[in-house]
């Protein structure tokens, strides 16, 4: 999986997190679309760095979570 850092994630809009995360903002990962890529950041640090993944890498990651393929990773 390749990624590239974004120095200031606060310039991106449309951040969202899973409804399973609750409202405490503890240990949450937020995502935002960025053209044909997906940006991710730590919800506890909204102005900190984000990682950006290609759609292919993001799709493979989500598929791995959904199928349990990442449990032993």
Is the model more confident about 56 or about 13?
56
Count how many domains the chain has.
Answer: 1
Q: Report the pLDDT value the prediction gives residue 63, as an integer from 0 to 100.
A: 92
Within 10 A of 40 (CB to CB), how many other CB atoms are there? 19
Task: Look up the domain containing 62 and give its range.
Answer: 3-67
Q: Count CA atoms closer than 13 A to 55's CA, side-chain side.
A: 4
**Is residue 61 domain-resident?**
yes
Is residue 17 situated within a structural domain?
Answer: yes
5 burial (CB, 10 Å; 0-12 / 13-18 / 19+) is: exposed
Residue 47 lies in a domain: yes
pLDDT of residue 48: 82
pLDDT in tens, 6-54: 556 777 888 998 777 766 656 788 999 988 889 998 888 888 888 889 9
pLDDT bucket at 58, cuts 50 / 70 / 90: very high
Residue 60 lies in a domain: yes
Q: Is 3 exposed, middle or buried (0-12, 13-18, 19+ CB in 10 A)?
A: middle
Residue 73 lies in a domain: no
pTM (2 decimals)?
0.73
Is residue 72 in some structural domain? no
């Amino acid at each position: 999986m390749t990624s590239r850092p974004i120095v200031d994630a606060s310039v991106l809009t449309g951040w969202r997190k899973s409804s399973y995360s609750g409202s405490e903002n503890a240990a949450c990962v937020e995502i935002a679309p960025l053209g044909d890529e997906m940006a991710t950041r730590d919800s506890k640090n909204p102005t900190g760095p984000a990682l950006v993944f290609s759609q292919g890498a993001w799709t493979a990651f989500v598929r791995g979570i959904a199928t349990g393929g990442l449990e032993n990773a």
